[in-house]
Chain A
């Protein structure tokens, strides 16, 4: 009753983490349910992602006059990571809304529903990752050891996405037109961030605004750069870390304050 909000939030999150077998099972269930009766299953996602990367690669590669050996791996890594990040954020909006049935019946820690959604998207990301080796082979670019750095990078991205999803899930349970706003913002961010265009094409001044001040760029870089055989810059790492710290502080405050209300909002 007289708990500090932060404690309410932390207790729920720890309890949710303890239920990881349930999270794992529900996440798998979501992926399987979506593709239950199709022969290729989730690999349909891989195929459509592959087709999209191929098409954008050819068209924009021509427009930008970019060498395919550079552009195609850049595009593939960027698109696949972006698909993960944007779907975690947009599905985060429905994190609690879509779990209404469970939330109103069973006292399961609410953060379980966020973890489940993230896990589901990690599984889908896993299917999409299959594309990367194919692209690298196609353009004859070797995968260097630096690529291993993208693993801690990915963890940091996931930690960042978790707080974004949690905050959005809480706010969207209360304000139901927020998901639409988030959807449009994501679309804008997609074009503002170097995913289908390479940063090297930018003039200096624009680069400052579109790269250095764009948090999504830093998050993307700590995963994408190692895959492409480059080291992410210190700035990339620092920004991602600071973002995680501030973000989680904010998320715990909001979640702790409103967790008790969520069941009533649904």
Chain B
């Protein structure tokens, strides 16, 4: 059971220039009685998302469309709980899994095996859970004996296969993705595709940011189109995709 409810959620980014970040400037300002004025304070605020309201329920497969800078990544970060709304309320119930940066936390000097534990731990898995699945992970990543070598000796493909194999082991209730994950050569791709589909099937709510029409039409049953931080359209994939991509 997963549930997401956003009511009038806004996100403002404070932009600190060098002045705003310096304690000295701040102290001088206090000492001079704050006479320097607000424009000297360097508090420029960028509104990244503006009064978003929507509800997501079990079974929703939501695609996020929008140009660069429309607020897709910020929305994903809000959903993952990394950011808190500047105003409005975001209620998120359910275990969250993020496949946004699958290489995060990977240490090039450590061996593949150590990295599996490291990455798994960051994703919230217990050591015993990882230990139970590690053979599957190693087999899936097709690393063979390389798994006990430091990661810096890996090729890019091997690196990604390992990251993919670990990251897709978790089965969260709410799954967040930035574009579809696709790694490896032809043979691996097919396997990865099957794994991804299974992952998406088992999750209660999927939110995926994308620029691909096929993906949205194929995977999603609802699409939110963001423009300048606001919801431009929130409807079924066909309608939004034809409006967004043009027909």
Contacts and interface: CB of A to CB of B under 8 A. Distances in A.
Given A25-B118, A33-B109, A106-B98, A175 B21 contact: yes
Nearest to B22: A177
Interface stretch (B61-69, B81-89, B155-163, B212-220): B81-89
Contacts of A32: 109-110
Contacts of A205: none
Given A105-B82, A107-B82, A263-B82, A22 B121 contact: yes
Given A33-B109, A264-B14, A105 B84 contact: no
Contacts of B124: 108
Residue in A22, A104, A106, A265 with the greatest tally of chain B CB atoms within 10 Å: A106
A264 B83 contact: yes
B23 A106 contact: no
A11 interface: no
Given A105-B101, A177-B22, A22 B80 contact: no
A32 B107 CA distance: 11
A67 interface: no
B100 interface: yes
A107 B14 CA distance: 21
Interface in A210-239: none
A105 B22 contact: no
A181 interface: yes
B96 to A, nearest CB: 6
Contact of B21 (A1, A176, A260): A176
In this complex, the interface size class of chain A, counting residues with CB under 8 Å from chain B, is 20 to 34
A140 interface: no
Given A177-B21, A177-B22, A177-B24, A103 B82 contact: yes
A178 interface: yes
Interface residues of B, number: 34
Contacts, number: 76
Interface string A26-57: 10010011001100000000000000000000
Interface string A1-37: 1000000000000000000011001100100110011
A59 to B, nearest CB: 37
A235 to B, nearest CB: 33
A174 B21 contact: yes
A265 B24 CA distance: 18
Nearest to A103: B82
Contact of B81 (A102, A107, A175): A107
Contacts of A21: 121, 126-127
B228 interface: no
Given A29-B118, A108-B122, 14 more contacts: A25-B118, A26-B121, A33-B109, A36-B109, A36-B110, A106-B80, A107-B81, A107-B98, A175-B21, A177-B24, A181-B23, A263-B82, A264-B13, A265-B14
